[in-house]
Amino acid sequence: MAILNLTEESHLHIEKVRARMREEGIDAVLIADNANLYYICFAVFRGYIYIPAEGRPLCFVIRPIDLLGDDVVSLRKPEQIPALLAERGYSQPAVLGLEMDDLSYSDVVRLHKAMGDCSVRNASPVLRSARMIKTAEEVRLIHADGMRQAAAYKKIPHVYKEEMTDVEFQIEIERQLRLEGCLGYYRTSGRLMEINMGSVLNGDNADCPTPYDFAVGGGGVDMSLPVGADGRTMKPGTTVMVDMCGNFNGYQSDMTRVWSIGDIPERALRAHRISMDILRELEKMAVPGVPVSSLYEKAMEIAAKAGLTDYFMGHRQKALFVGHGVGIQLNEWPVVTARSKDVLAAGMVIALEPKFVIPGVGAVGVENTYHVTDNGLECLTPFPEEIANLL
Amino acid sequence: MAILNLTEESHLHIEKVRARMREEGIDAVLIADNANLYYICFAVFRGYIYIPAEGRPLCFVIRPIDLLGDDVVSLRKPEQIPALLAERGYSQPAVLGLEMDDLSYSDVVRLHKAMGDCSVRNASPVLRSARMIKTAEEVRLIHADGMRQAAAYKKIPHVYKEEMTDVEFQIEIERQLRLEGCLGYYRTSGRLMEINMGSVLNGDNADCPTPYDFAVGGGGVDMSLPVGADGRTMKPGTTVMVDMCGNFNGYQSDMTRVWSIGDIPERALRAHRISMDILRELEKMAVPGVPVSSLYEKAMEIAAKAGLTDYFMGHRQKALFVGHGVGIQLNEWPVVTARSKDVLAAGMVIALEPKFVIPGVGAVGVENTYHVTDNGLECLTPFPEEIANLL
């Protein structure tokens, strides 16, 4: 039998959600999305969490059948929820929040109908903005990810063999991550990020456009999953960029490092140094109160001053961001773009990934996951940033 | 530059979709779900496919920017679609199909608004039922998966080491599958199936209930992904059930085999034989015209006659199906349940997985992927079914 209880940490999260509910005039939210379920109670189950603006939240659990606890109500289907709430003295919400960006149209319509006479609003932004500011415990979990991801990345030079393909190289990195405890599952938001355990980009494959919302693309080996390694043999004079899964505990870190196969041209080494320069600059300026958009602008400005605009954040196809929030999902808020309206706040966790694609060589650049503190950025993915030679 | 053209095979799929559209009174469908995009044009891209009841389908591509072809129209956002259609002489559909079970509520609302004055219907069942009957080419692709999955499973006895944990064992199987060409990505429908490359269940972990819609559960190693291997050391006298990813080409096969660690009790061996008996019986009776529900009933009946009902399709928590369609997604139609209204048809591809959970020993049983033909079931996952001893 497994026990599900709302912990002190759960209640810290619930209070963040409630603060946003009040701003939006929402009387209660009914949560069904797996990432949001995990955010509230550190467990994924089939069911729902009901959070009223005031009073005790309840977990409605369909499966697993053995999940019990003080805050758990077992049920078969969502249509039972109103009666189960009424029995416990809860009043009907006038305005109910449902996760309209995360659940299917059919699910939202079914839940609205099940919950009876109330108006509904989109609770997805409520949850996403609550999750944007991490607690100390969440930062600790992401830091723990970063340490384990770094331990696996340390093995990377040892798994390389000459004349390997990029896919073979990735497979050995996947294995090292898994042996280190990586769950191997990227939890992402939306349908624009499908991938298996992350991306390994060698040489000009880094310049291959992808349909997905990753910073750099890659053609993949099959049109059903057109991203990442494409099966090419890794040749001397190229780089290989490793941006693999950092999910060890439900939260995740996001870290990219680059290795070279033999010597690479100075123009690639220089672009890599510019990437590190950008990170050093952003680490200093990223303090609470600074607009997120100014991080993007500063990165663009440094790339432009170096004459590298054409290669920054992709070459043939460009990403329009240099970073993103990270936590339970890989693509959390804030998104570090020119159009962001967000302002940095203490407790945000963001991955910054100023990357260049150098034709004829490959991708260069560094990505770290950072905790926003009053003193600037605290790096949660400590690992040497320089390009090391695999040969 | 990548070329996207609708092939002869695409047009076979489009005609199936149109037949279902006519039955539902839908004038056009606008497709955005990745699995359905892949179904129509054998490529995943960010964008939409517009299929009118008559006339030429169009692919509206946002990303990648270099995807071109005779049937491709580049665009930035879906709001441009009506004007782009009108320019090309398409009339406004009165009834538009949108994938309401697959897209988020917000996406469906946005697309409806973008498409202007038309009523909308749910196109998800249209696509799912079209995809239910495979073409010869689709069967060929799934058979190719099955052969490669079998080649990887053949390596399984060689990666086992005494005192291994189930997770360590799974990692080596993942590696063998990937080296064989497995894409490592399970494309599933809905939010009830999260997993990394499949399930390895040892001993009593097979009896641990999961929230997800897999036939057998497992506790997993983290509450954020409560399914599959739980990190236990594999002890003599237990079984290990391997049900791993068969996606090598965008389509996938689904195959489960069981190994024992040393000798296991006769009651487990007998249950395994009953599973094979069930498959032999279903292979004969599953011809076009037979109700899908009768396969479920026959499986239940054989399990009951053997006195094994308590252990069939789970013990503490039971699955309510013994099989499911498989193709681009792992959980396609038909679902082999008591409540199914579907009737078997030539060209269906179904995985049948009569499994037993034997307390104190583990899971036993066999899963094959089959092609429904006029002469019964054709197995697409040929591999010895008996329990082999890893010691």
Burial of A47 from C-beta contacts in 10 A (0-12 / 13-18 / 19+): buried
Residue with tokens 């064989």: B180
Q: Whole domain around residue B176: which residue ranges?
A: 133-389
- Per-residue DSSP letters for B297-337? HHHHHHHHHTT-GGGBT-SSS--SEEEEE-SSSSSEEEEEE
- One domain, residues A127 and A179: no
Which of B385, B216, B225, B243 lies closest to B315, judged by CA?
B216
> Count of alpha carbons within 13 Å of A23, Cβ hemisphere only?
13
Predicted confidence band at A327 (pLDDT cuts at 50, 70, 90)? very high
Residue of A nearest to B168 (CA): A179
> Count of alpha carbons within 13 Å of B166, Cβ hemisphere only?
31
Residues of B in contact with A183 (CB under 8 A): 196, 221-222, 224-225
The domain boundary, picked from B98, B131, B164, lies at B131
CA distances from A135 to A123, A132, A330, B53, B135 (A): 21, 10, 17, 53, 52
Q: What is the pLDDT of residue A2?
A: 79
- One domain, residues A277 and A138: yes
- Whether A32 has a pLDDT exceeding 80, the answer reads yes
Contact yes or no for B250 and A223 at CB 8 A: yes
Read off the pLDDT of residues B266-279 as tens digits, 9 standing for 90 and up.
Answer: 999 999 999 999 99
Can you say whether residue A228 is alpha, beta or left, with left for phi > 0 and alpha for psi between -120 and 50 degrees?
A: left
Contact yes or no for B66 and A317 at CB 8 A: yes
What is the mean pLDDT of the segment spanning A10-32? 98
Which of A233, A232, A256 lies closest to A244, judged by CA?
A256
Residues of A in contact with B186 (CB under 8 A): none
CA distance B203 to B359: 8
Residues of A in contact with B184 (CB under 8 A): 174, 196-197
Distance of CA A301 to the CA centre of its chain: 26
CA distance B83 to A61: 47
Mean pLDDT over the full length of chain B? 97
CATH number of the domain within which B66 lies:
3.40.350.10
Contact yes or no for B44 and A194 at CB 8 A: yes
CA of B104 vs chain A CAs: smallest distance (Å) = 4
Contact yes or no for B209 and A64 at CB 8 A: yes
CA of B247 vs chain A CAs: smallest distance (Å) = 10
Residues of A in contact with B221 (CB under 8 A): 181, 183
Residues of A in contact with B225 (CB under 8 A): 44, 183, 185, 250
- One domain, residues B216 and B325: yes
- One domain, residues A57 and A140: no
Burial of B391 from C-beta contacts in 10 A (0-12 / 13-18 / 19+): exposed
Q: Are B185 and A196 in contact (CB under 8 A)?
A: yes
Contact yes or no for A167 and B178 at CB 8 A: yes
Contact yes or no for A224 and B183 at CB 8 A: yes
Which ipTM was obtained for this model? 0.97
CA distances from A101 to A187, A189, B99, B121 (A): 15, 9, 14, 19
CA distance A5 to A311: 50
- One domain, residues B148 and B247: yes
Contact yes or no for A225 and B250 at CB 8 A: yes
CA distance A29 to A7: 19
- Whether B191 has a pLDDT exceeding 90, the answer reads no
Which of B123, B131, B120 lies closest to B99, judged by CA?
B123
Read off the pLDDT of residues B222-268 as tens digits, 9 standing for 90 and up.
Answer: 999 999 999 999 999 999 999 999 999 999 999 999 999 999 999 99
What is the mean pLDDT of the segment spanning A273-298? 98
Give me the number of domains chain A comprises.
Answer: 2
- 10 Å Cβ neighbour count for B84? 15
Which of B46, B105, B223 has the CB atom closest to A42's CB atom?
Answer: B223
- Whether B1 has a pLDDT exceeding 70, the answer reads no
Which of A103, A172, A196 has the CB atom closest to B104's CB atom?
Answer: A103
What is the mean pLDDT of the segment spanning A86-98? 96
Q: What is the pLDDT of residue B329?
A: 98
- Whether B34 has a pLDDT exceeding 90, the answer reads yes
Q: What is the pLDDT of residue A1?
A: 63
Contact yes or no for B185 and A167 at CB 8 A: no
Strands B321-325 and B349-352: antiparallel
- One domain, residues B192 and B101: no
From A200-204, A211-215, B147-151, B180-184, the region with the lowest mean pLDDT: A211-215
- Whether B100 has a pLDDT exceeding 70, the answer reads yes
Q: What is the pLDDT of residue B2?
A: 79
Which of A33, A41, A42, A76 lies closest to A59, judged by CA?
A41
Number of residues in chain B:
391
> Full-prediction pTM beyond 0.90?
yes
Q: What is chain B's Cα-based Rg?
A: 22
CA of A89 vs chain B CAs: smallest distance (Å) = 28
- One domain, residues A264 and A313: yes
Contact yes or no for B316 and A65 at CB 8 A: yes
- One domain, residues A288 and A316: yes
Q: Are A249 and A238 in contact (CB under 8 A)?
A: no
Predicted confidence band at B66 (pLDDT cuts at 50, 70, 90)? confident
Which of A44, A172, A317 has the CB atom closest to B225's CB atom?
Answer: A44
- One domain, residues B250 and B335: yes
Read off the pLDDT of residues A370-381 as tens digits, 9 standing for 90 and up.
Answer: 999 999 999 999
Beta bridge partners of residue B312, listed in sequence order: B356
Share of chain A above pLDDT 70, in %: 100
CA distances from A236 to A155, A233, A242, A387, B116 (A): 20, 10, 17, 14, 54
Residue of B nearest to A229 (CA): B183
Residue of A nearest to B248 (CA): A222
- One domain, residues B151 and B118: no
From A71-80, A243-252, B208-217, the region with the lowest mean pLDDT: B208-217
Q: What is the pLDDT of residue A234?
A: 98
Contact yes or no for A103 and B100 at CB 8 A: no
List all residues 6 or more positions away from A342 whose beta carbon is below 8 Å from its beta carbon. Answer: A132, A291, A292, A333, A334
Contact yes or no for A45 and B211 at CB 8 A: yes
Cα of first residue to Cα of last residue in chain B, in angstroms, is: 52
What is the mean pLDDT of the segment spanning B275-298? 98
CA of B280 vs chain A CAs: smallest distance (Å) = 32
Read off the pLDDT of residues A153-179 as tens digits, 9 standing for 90 and up.
Answer: 999 999 999 999 999 999 999 999 999
Residues of B in contact with A223 (CB under 8 A): 38, 42-44, 250
Read off the pLDDT of residues A333-358 as tens digits, 9 standing for 90 and up.
Answer: 999 999 999 999 999 999 999 999 99
Contact yes or no for A317 and B65 at CB 8 A: yes
The domain boundary, picked from B88, B109, B131, lies at B131
- One domain, residues A87 and A127: yes
Contact yes or no for A187 and B38 at CB 8 A: no
Which of A328, A362, A340 lies closest to A216, judged by CA?
A362
CATH number of the domain within which A328 lies:
3.90.230.10
Which of A375, A289, A329 lies closest to A134, judged by CA?
A329
Cis, peptide link before residue A334, omega less than 30° from 0: yes
Which of A301, A2, A231 lies closest to B223, judged by CA?
A2
Which of B156, B207, B167 lies closest to B312, judged by CA?
B207
CA distances from B389 to A95, A186, B163, B240, B276 (A): 59, 34, 15, 10, 18
CA distance A299 to A253: 21
The domain boundary, picked from B101, B131, B161, lies at B131
Residues of B in contact with A171 (CB under 8 A): 175, 178-179
CA distance A204 to A390: 18
- One domain, residues A47 and A154: no
Q: Are A292 and A275 in contact (CB under 8 A)?
A: no
